A = this chain, B = another copy of it.
């Protein structure tokens, strides 16, 4: 039979409450008493019962990862980072996919709280900027942390300087001699894409290259939208010599589209992506891209969330660094 807190109390010669205090790192316990309890806990291999703890303590010890429709890779990475942080803090992770559309979103988020009653949630793009979700959380005063939100100054969580990263990426392209650089944007609902687009424009401005609306087209993060975006750009009278896609999947689509037109990357066209997902390395030519420490971001966001859960108002927006990876898909323009 499993040992209970009562057994530990008996073994240590103290009351249940004192054991509870030690386990929860509460103050007001003499050092020596604390030691005695700790030893008893180890001797009896005592593990607290989660359900009893939640029931009595009015907390679930659950944090939820709320998501909508991110790339599976991104989700997996964030999740594994969160899992790490949760385990380290004796929290449980619940996955909370929410449906699309305002009503479905509202229903699902409501269901999440009715059923699991998480102590807090982590939001990832594109849901980080979803008003239905944000409103619910704020009204119900639920602690939450965001990854890559559109308005970082109002939130806690994690962000990366995406604009700066793109600026550097674009500077690399420009240094290679490219002046007609196309851009395939990510979904409009995805806050971070604004930062990537901003970096694109800013880089052109800095280099004194005029912004050409025709060189920018809307994508939706999928491989197929990369193909169609590339086709639109390459159909131009004066096509770009380089294309920066807002994520790797679309960049892979660009490479495919180029190939189907008989263009060889990078000889005839340079291509950049964003995220450094596995495909970036597996595709030929390997993609020049920007690595986000996605898993680490999940971990850090969770840590900030737990801070806020423990003490209201605590927690902040932490920053992580991008890594630029110049690989095979970029080269000076051929000057065809």
Mark A residues whose CB is within 8 Å of B.
Answer: 45, 47, 49-52, 54-55, 60, 72-73, 75-76, 79-80, 83, 90, 92-95, 97, 114-117, 223, 249, 252-253, 255-256, 259, 278-279, 281-284
Contacts and interface: CB of A to CB of B under 8 A. Distances in A.
Q: Which DSSP category, helix, strand, loop or mixed, fits chain A's interface? A: helix
A256 B284 contact: yes
Contact of A51 (B45, B51, B72, B90): B51
A116 B94 CA distance: 13
A51 B252 CA distance: 47
Contact of A49 (B55, B75, B90, B97): B55
A333 to B, nearest CB: 22
B114 A252 contact: no
Contact of A60 (B51, B95, B259, B283): B51
A210 B265 CA distance: 41
A223 B279 contact: no
Nearest to A53: B51
Nearest to A117: B50
A52 B54 CA distance: 8
Contacts of A255: 284
A325 to B, nearest CB: 16
28 contacts: A45-B114, A47-B115, A50-B116, A50-B117, A51-B51, A51-B52, A51-B55, A51-B60, A52-B55, A55-B55, A72-B278, A75-B76, A76-B76, A79-B95, A83-B97, A92-B94, A93-B94, A223-B278, A223-B282, A252-B282, A256-B282, A259-B284, A278-B279, A279-B279, A279-B282, A282-B283, A283-B283, A283-B284
